[in-house]
Amino acid sequence: KFLYESQLKKYDKPGDITVPTEFSHILQENVDFMTSLAERHYYNCEYQQCFKITSQVLTRDIYHTQCLPIHLSCLMELKKTNALFDLAHKLVDLYPESSLSWFAVGCYYLLINKTDAARRFLSKATTLDNVLAPAWLLYGHSFAVESEHDQAMAAYFKASHLMRGCHLPLLYIGLEYGLTDNTKLAERFFKQALEIAPNDPFVLHELGVIAYQSSNFTSAEKHFRDALNIIKNRKEITVLPDKWEPLLNNMGHVLRKLKKYEEAIDFHKQALILSPQNPSTYSALGFVYSLMTKWNESVEYFHKALGLKRDDSFSTTMLGHAIEHLVTEISIFQDSDNTAENAVKYEQQIAINEFLVSKANEEKSLPNIKITSNRSKSNIMNTTIQSIDTSLPDLSANDCEMDISN
């Protein structure tokens, strides 16, 4: 009974497991119990600890069918390409007729961004076992990374039928709806996923993106902050992983909309630490500084953005506005003879530039500032619902345009 219950409560904290004292010495070496514990670590985004446990299980039984999908998920999440290649090669040599072996090969090829090869091997895995949910989910990702939304959603819906009680297929279906501008359906699936996994930062992040797109900035801020707090409270997190750079930038965008400019700058600068070569972040910083009328800083960051992306029309346009403001300020303070006349000219120049900025905000072709949907680079999970092995892989970042109005 205890083993069965531990498998059902995979979304609980790993530390919440209370092992009966009469079984403690037995369960410490029980591979099924260790797999259940690893699964909890995985769903709580504690990938290093999960990987440590699954590695111990597979040293005893390389073909433990419940543990393999979790282990493969961790290898993808931690980007251990060499270890994934070795394991897939070994499984194909030992069990060439097993669907899990070819699923492992598909994981490897998707991790190294060879989607055609990944799709071919995942198709073979689903042919050998039509109810292998992890393969269907990964199959959907192979289409999603190439923006083939219809085929991706068909695979995700198939996975969701096989993975009752797991939030990941719902999350991915919501992502695809969001990318096709169907925000209502996207929000519906994200909320269903949140009911199952209320502490999943990926779900909270996507809800924040949807709230932003619906101009509900207060709600977006709450979702982003909740996601960030959950990530920072993970025991194994000492430095924020670089995959969370979109979350920090999105937080900055929302705070800008709420006119919390200093805090917005702080989050954008944190994002720069994780991804220092992202021109969109420099554009965002330049825009916030321009809203604060700090023209020197604004010019500096727009220059940096253009240094990384020369054809960025938004940064080019805004750099021109910032330089105009800067020149106007300098000329006014240098000429002190006609103070009243200069003040009027300055106010007129501000009004003109504000009009130009508002026109730039309306121009759909300009923005380089984006609000980004975040997909973790692989979520393959095992869930034991209705005796079906389930697993879930990758989520790659997808951009959706964000307006730049202040």
Between CA 84 and CA 72 the distance in angstroms is 7
User: pLDDT band at residue 232, thresholds of 50, 70 and 90?
Assistant: confident
Please, are residues 333 and 302 in contact by the beta-carbon 8 Å criterion?
Answer: no
Burial of 351 by CB count in 10 Å (0-12 exposed, 13-18 middle, 19+ buried)?
Answer: exposed
Q: Residue 350's pLDDT is what?
A: 58
Q: Residue 245's pLDDT is what?
A: 92
The more confident residue out of 37 and 381 is 37
Q: Is pLDDT above 60 for 404?
A: no
pLDDT tens figures, 179-227 = 998 999 999 999 999 999 898 999 999 999 999 999 999 999 999 999 9
Of 235, 189, 204, the closest CA to residue 40 belongs to 235
Q: Residue 138's pLDDT is what?
A: 94
User: pLDDT band at residue 328, thresholds of 50, 70 and 90?
Assistant: confident
For Cα atoms 5, 107, 186, give the angle at the middle one, nearest 5 degrees: 70
Of the chain, the end-to-end C-alpha distance in Å amounts to 57
pLDDT tens figures, 255-299 = 999 999 999 999 999 999 999 999 999 999 999 999 998 989 999
The two three-digit tokens of residue 10, written as one number: 């995979």
Q: Which whole-number Å values give the CA distances from 319 to 13, 31, 282, 315, in the listed order?
A: 49, 61, 12, 6
Radius of gyration of the chain measured on its C-alpha atoms? 25
User: Mean of the per-residue pLDDT values for the chain?
Assistant: 80
Of 244, 303, 252, the closest CA to residue 279 belongs to 303
Please, are residues 196 and 170 in contact by the beta-carbon 8 Å criterion?
Answer: yes
Q: Residue 63's pLDDT is what?
A: 86
User: pLDDT band at residue 140, thresholds of 50, 70 and 90?
Assistant: very high
Between CA 323 and CA 282 the distance in angstroms is 16
Q: Residue 43's pLDDT is what?
A: 83
Between CA 397 and CA 374 the distance in angstroms is 5
SS3 45: coil
Q: Is pLDDT above 60 for 74?
A: yes
C-alpha 26: how far from chain center? 39
Share of the chain above pLDDT 70, in %: 73
Q: Residue 149's pLDDT is what?
A: 92
Between CA 279 and CA 282 the distance in angstroms is 5
Q: Is pLDDT above 80 for 49?
A: yes
Q: Residue 293's pLDDT is what?
A: 87
The more confident residue out of 375 and 21 is 21
User: pLDDT band at residue 395, thresholds of 50, 70 and 90?
Assistant: very low
Which residue ranges form the domains of the chain, and what is each CATH number?
248-380 (1.25.40.10)
Between CA 373 and CA 384 the distance in angstroms is 29
Between CA 340 and CA 327 the distance in angstroms is 18
Q: Is pLDDT above 80 for 71?
A: yes
Please, are residues 391 and 139 in contact by the beta-carbon 8 Å criterion?
Answer: no
Q: Which residues, including other chains, have CB under 8 Å from residue 318's CB and lie 6 or more apart?
A: 283, 286, 287, 290, 298, 302, 357, 360
The more confident residue out of 232 and 262 is 262
- Lowest pLDDT segment from 28-32, 43-47, 396-400: 396-400
Q: Residue 42's pLDDT is what?
A: 86
Please, are residues 179 and 398 in contact by the beta-carbon 8 Å criterion?
Answer: yes
